[in-house]
Chain A
Amino acid sequence: MFNKTAIAASVTLMSIATAHAEGPYRIGITQNNVGVDSYQTTYESAFEAAAEREGNVDVVVLDAGGDVARQIGQMQDLIQQRVDAIIIWPTNGQAVIPAIRQAHSAGIPVIVTNSKIAEAGMEFIAAFSGPDNVQQGISSAEMMCDALGGEGQIVQISGQPGYTTAMERAGGFEDRLAEACPGVELLETQPGNWNRERAQRVMEDFLTKYDHIDGVYSGDDNMGVGALNAAKGAGRADGIIFIGATNFAVGYDAIARGEYYGSIYQSPVDDAEAALQTALDVLAGEDLPKMNFFDTPKITAENLEEFDRPVF
């Protein structure tokens, strides 16, 4: 009895002391497609672990399985359950807006994580938390420029067509490259669909088509390693600079072996923790910017040791 009273008292005291300790909060999350790739799988476990550590947060974890209709249904379920905040990893930046607006009208703050939604929906969300993919493209372009010394011919293997992340990275890369490095010519871009085997095939065709390739920019390391495989198979890997994004374990190892120039370190753990923290900040009534980007630094052989080997 004494214990219970003591705990209750201390909880009351804490809630007066800091806004954070208010709660417990119930936060619902509807994810895009857990299990489809390593990144999302790691994100989910990291999110749950972060909520566990937070203590005063109760999470409802849902997964849309890549299906927009299911995600909208999950949004409505979460609204019905009157959770305190909803985090959504949009399956589609356009189609989920009506559901986000519903939550907004019901007074439930919505935090969009990882992938952006269309401009039309921005007024209904409390905040966005995720990587800045345009900036990642820019950083990759700068690395490419440095590695080539401002001269050369390169090809690009982009992600899934129509996928925001793919378009933003490609856009950031192309714009920055043209601006910072007019001496580097982008010969051609082909999609590799985030798939290593397809990227490998695309690269084989590039190697046939172009006798001279100085660099390859891939939308993620999974595809980048496919491109590296192809170049090694053709005996041309030595003369080519490989740069990727979303550093994967295979990319990390390839950098360590000196076969791969660099990548962008984007941790799903940081992504998940940033999403939860953004939600908590929103609930605490803190004044947040709309766009909250977590840091995704460049990674090359020089600073490799500062980073843990990615778990995916």
Chain B
Amino acid sequence: MASTEQTKVVVPLGKLSKAGVLSFLSAQGILIFFLIGMFVFSFFSEQFLSQSNIMTVVRQASIIGIIAVGVTVVIIGGNLDLSVGSMLSFSTVLVVDLHDKIGPTNAILLMFALTLMIGAVNGFLIGFLRLNSLIVTLAMLSAIQGFVLIYSGGQNVDIANQENTWFAFFGRGFVGGIAVPVLMFGLLAILIQVVMSYTGYGRRIFAVGGNPMAAVYSGIRKNWCVFSTYLISAFCVACAALVLGSRVMGSQNNVGQGYELLVLAGIILGGTSLLGGAGSIWKTVIGVLILGFIQNGLLLMGYPYYIQWIVTWVIIILAVWLDLANKRKRLFTSHS
């Protein structure tokens, strides 16, 4: 009897200390990597930590960041959204093309309406028809790319008079010394973080993503919750399109290609679980910034950008591994 009690005490203790290291690593590992990376980069490039470079990185990261904020909500709700890259192409081409045809105000309104409509279709198929989100949004990725090609006929679209349009504000403007894209990124992140943390709606999204059955039994209208997450994601894409279109003052039909993966990379790096029910906007903001600094740092060190893909994905695999290791309290599986 005494011996069993002894083992009962010893084993959990042993596991606890191990788990303590693991959970510390998984919780802070990314930040540690980040700090080491910053140190290495600043060692090789004196401009890396300069104020202007940091502002550049944050500004560049804000387009990915704005989208990632919306997709984080979808992921917390237990689904995925792979259509955001194509949607970004669509919305940017639309707003830039319409700018000269119907004026900036109408162009922006119409672009938001149509982007939200795509989000609503995603949300309807996934929320109400209960179709698999991976398949629906992957199909949407291709379908929207097709629409963009039909709409643009493959031609690039441009804003003719770049110097004299207030549309430039969204991508090139500054308010109080802060670039407008960064401001939009920050405001959206704060707004959605507050909604997710402090409102009943936010808690319902967490519940739906964490345990859909329990959520339904406790009277949450799961269909509407899932539907709404896709509207949020589409809204964020529309905001990003505003920034991108205004920054470049032109667009081409493949401009958002691959963004879905960068967005996911930022979210995963931040530590939001792809399984749903957990995560936060703050984590995503940090993940997106880390991604931006990796890309910028490698470029400043003179590596071509495709090295970034390799480095980014090595770090992501590490992040996912640490996350899983923390959940099962060990680095490797005990049995095959």
- Using a CB–CB cutoff of 8 Å, the interface residues on chain A facing chain B are 34-38, 40-42, 161, 188, 190-191, 195-197, 200-202, 204-205, 208-209, 222, 225-226, 229, 233, 248-250, 253, 312
The minimal Cβ–Cβ distance linking A211 to chain B, given in whole angstroms, is 9
Judging by beta carbons under 8 Å apart, are A312 and B253 in contact?
no
- Find the residue from B45, B52, B248 having the highest chain A CB count within 10 A: B248
Q: Fill in one digit per residue for B175-197: 1 if any A CB lies within 8 Å of its CB, else 0.
A: 00000000000000000000000
Judging by beta carbons under 8 Å apart, are B250 and A196 in contact?
yes
Given contacts A202-B299, A204-B60, contact A37 B45 (CB under 8 A): no
Given contacts A200-B248, A204-B60, contact A36 B156 (CB under 8 A): no
- Find the residue from A190, A204, A208, A229 having the highest chain B CB count within 10 A: A208
Q: Is B80 an interface residue (CB 8 A)?
A: no
* Bound form: Cα–Cα A195–B248 in Å: 10
- Find the residue from B154, B160, B248, B296 having the highest chain A CB count within 10 A: B154
Judging by beta carbons under 8 Å apart, are B255 and A38 in contact?
no
Given contacts A41-B154, A208-B56, contact A190 B250 (CB under 8 A): no
Main secondary structure, interface of A, reads helix
Judging by beta carbons under 8 Å apart, are B149 and A35 in contact?
yes
Q: Is B172 an interface residue (CB 8 A)?
A: yes
Given contacts A225-B250, A226-B248, A229-B248, contact A197 B255 (CB under 8 A): yes
Interface residues on B, range: 20 to 34
Judging by beta carbons under 8 Å apart, are B153 and A205 in contact?
no
A37 partner, pick from B59, B156, B299, B302, beta carbons under 8 A: B156
Give residues of chain B (41-82) contacting chain A, Cβ–Cβ below 8 Å.
Answer: 45, 47, 50, 52-53, 56, 59-60
B300 partner, pick from A195, A200, A209, beta carbons under 8 A: A209
Given contacts A35-B153, A205-B56, A312-B156, contact A250 B248 (CB under 8 A): no
Judging by beta carbons under 8 Å apart, are A208 and B250 in contact?
no
Q: A residues within 8 A CB of B299?
A: 190, 202, 205, 209
Given contacts A205-B56, A208-B53, contact A229 B247 (CB under 8 A): yes
Q: B residues within 8 A CB of A37?
A: 154, 156, 252
List 13 A-B pairs, Cβ < 8 Å.
Answer: A34-B154, A36-B253, A38-B154, A38-B155, A38-B156, A196-B255, A205-B56, A205-B300, A208-B47, A208-B52, A208-B300, A233-B172, A250-B156
- Find the residue from B53, B60, B305 having the highest chain A CB count within 10 A: B305
Judging by beta carbons under 8 Å apart, are B250 and A250 in contact?
yes
- Using a CB–CB cutoff of 8 Å, the interface residues on chain B facing chain A are 45, 47, 50, 52-53, 56, 59-60, 149, 153-156, 158, 160, 172, 244, 247-250, 252-255, 296, 299-300, 302, 304-306
Judging by beta carbons under 8 Å apart, are B156 and A248 in contact?
yes
* Bound form: Cα–Cα A312–B56 in Å: 30
What are the 9 tightest A-B residue pairs by CB atom distance, in nearest-first order? Answer: A41-B154, A35-B154, A208-B53, A38-B155, A35-B149, A205-B299, A38-B156, A197-B248, A204-B56
* Bound form: Cα–Cα A188–B300 in Å: 10
B248 partner, pick from A36, A190, A196, A249, beta carbons under 8 A: A196
The minimal Cβ–Cβ distance linking B48 to chain A, given in whole angstroms, is 9
Q: A residues within 8 A CB of B248?
A: 196-197, 200, 226, 229
Q: From B163, which residue of chain A is reached at the shortest CB distance?
A: A257
- Find the residue from A201, A226, A249 having the highest chain B CB count within 10 A: A201
Q: A residues within 8 A CB of B302?
A: 188
Judging by beta carbons under 8 Å apart, are A209 and B45 in contact?
yes
Q: A residues within 8 A CB of B244?
A: 197
A36 partner, pick from B154, B172, B255, beta carbons under 8 A: B154
A190 partner, pick from B53, B59, B60, B305, beta carbons under 8 A: B305
The minimal Cβ–Cβ distance linking B198 to chain A, given in whole angstroms, is 35
Q: A residues within 8 A CB of B160?
A: 253
Q: From B159, which residue of chain A is reached at the shortest CB distance?
A: A250
The minimal Cβ–Cβ distance linking A249 to chain B, given in whole angstroms, is 7
The minimal Cβ–Cβ distance linking A209 to chain B, given in whole angstroms, is 5
Judging by beta carbons under 8 Å apart, are B304 and A161 in contact?
yes
Q: From A211, which residue of chain B is reached at the shortest CB distance?
A: B47
Judging by beta carbons under 8 Å apart, are B300 and A41 in contact?
no
Q: From B257, which residue of chain A is reached at the shortest CB distance?
A: A195
Judging by beta carbons under 8 Å apart, are B254 and A195 in contact?
yes
* Bound form: Cα–Cα A202–B149 in Å: 26
* Bound form: Cα–Cα A37–B148 in Å: 12
* Bound form: Cα–Cα A204–B154 in Å: 27
The minimal Cβ–Cβ distance linking A68 to chain B, given in whole angstroms, is 18
The minimal Cβ–Cβ distance linking B331 to chain A, given in whole angstroms, is 36
Q: From A41, which residue of chain B is reached at the shortest CB distance?
A: B154
